Amino acid sequence: MSTIGFVGLGIMGAPMARHLVAAGHEVTGHDLSPRGVDALVAAGGHAASGVAEAVAGAEVVITMLPQDEHVEEVFFGPGGILESAKPGALYIDFSTIRPETSQRVAAAGRERGLRVLDAPVSGGEKGAVDAVLSIMVGGAREDFDAARPVFEAVGRTFELVGGSGAGQYVKAANQLIVGGTFGLVAEAIVLMEAAGVDARAGLDVIAGGLAASRILDLKRGSMLARSFEPGFRIDLHHKDMGIATAAARSADVALPMTGLVASLIAAARSRGYGSLDHSALLKVVEDLSGR
């Protein structure tokens, strides 16, 4: 059992914090919005009025925040984790952010005696609710081992993939596969519907063959029904494609498919779909096809 300070109780953070309480940890949470905090308290956790109160004295500090600027504010800002966490605390950042930001956070944290892991996740809201997330971890082996009880409470598959920032590179790779798959499932639906075939039966049979995927399993029903409640917002996937394309540029590699998917996701935002689920790429393909 550990005392845990948890900041960022949104779509992903709220169920993750709940699982940590259920696993016997003493969890104190903070979010700018009361919804996730109320849910944590109802599950047996505690509410904090700010970051400092949530993390002071905690053995483990966790963040699950949208973007780089939120992590930077919560970590480096006044009353933030760097200032308020106790030396020796293990800081696990589950957010998806740029690898360079994770590296900067880890270096600053280490100077103050914090142990820091970047640990972005995959599995979506359902993976968080069912505690079966895949967790890609960057940092030191002994810190990864110390974090096992936390990973076991919220996830099913977790791997140490390298030093600080490495988890974020793997997450970027994950997101280009997810974005590309959504784009192609969207194109498959548009093609089948335009050809007048039974797209539902079509996707059922496709899901039994080589093109099977978790995305087809979990999302084909809602895509066919044009239900785009997030889930994972287009805005956040756009951020992730920015991370992937920047990583490709600095590694001097060509990722042409990723560039195409990034453009489609950018188009989804410009068309006003940013707050919809990323499966709303279907709407962009329909727009392009005049359907």
How far apart are the C-alpha atoms of 231 and 273, rounded to whole Å? 13
Min dist CB 62 to ligand NAD, Å, is 12
Give catalytic status of residue 239 as yes or no: no
Does 139 interact with ligand NAD (rule: CB under 6 A)? Answer: no
**Member of 119, 172, 236, 280 binding ligand NAD (CB under 6 A):** 236
Does 232 interact with ligand NAD (rule: CB under 6 A)? Answer: yes
Min dist CB 226 to ligand NAD, Å, is 19
Nearest residue (CB) to ligand NAD, 31 versus 143: 31
Does 64 interact with ligand NAD (rule: CB under 6 A)? Answer: yes
Does 33 interact with ligand NAD (rule: CB under 6 A)? Answer: yes
**Which member of 126, 171, 219, 239 is catalytic?**
171
Min dist CB 253 to ligand NAD, Å, is 23
Does 66 interact with ligand NAD (rule: CB under 6 A)? Answer: yes
CA-wise closest residue to 102 among 153, 12, 170:
170
Does 8 interact with ligand NAD (rule: CB under 6 A)? Answer: yes
Does 243 interact with ligand NAD (rule: CB under 6 A)? Answer: no
How far apart are the C-alpha atoms of 213 and 18, rounded to whole Å? 28
**Member of 12, 37, 92, 248 binding ligand NAD (CB under 6 A):** 12
**Member of 5, 15, 29, 36 binding ligand NAD (CB under 6 A):** 36
**Member of 25, 46, 70, 104 binding ligand NAD (CB under 6 A):** 70
Cα of first residue to Cα of last residue in the chain, in angstroms, is: 55
Residue 229: burial class (beta carbons within 10 Å; 0-12, 13-18, 19+): exposed
User: Phi then psi for 209, rounded to 5 degrees?
Assistant: -110, -155
Does 29 interact with ligand NAD (rule: CB under 6 A)? Answer: no
Q: Find tokens 């979506």 and name the residue.
A: 124
Please say whether the beta carbons of 84 and 48 come within 8 A: no
Does 179 interact with ligand NAD (rule: CB under 6 A)? Answer: no
Strands 3-7 and 60-63: parallel
2: left (phi over 0), alpha (psi -120 to 50) or beta: beta
DSSP letter assigned to residue 60: E
The one-letter amino acid code at 125 reads E
Tokens of 167: 């988890």
Piece of the chain touching ligand NAD by CB under 6 A; list 69-77, 151-159, 187-195, 282-290: 69-77
CA-wise closest residue to 187 among 211, 218, 214:
211
Q: Which residues are catalytic?
A: 171
Which residues bind to ligand NAD, rule: CB under 6 A?
7-13, 30-33, 36, 64-66, 70, 73-74, 95-96, 121-122, 124-125, 231-232, 236
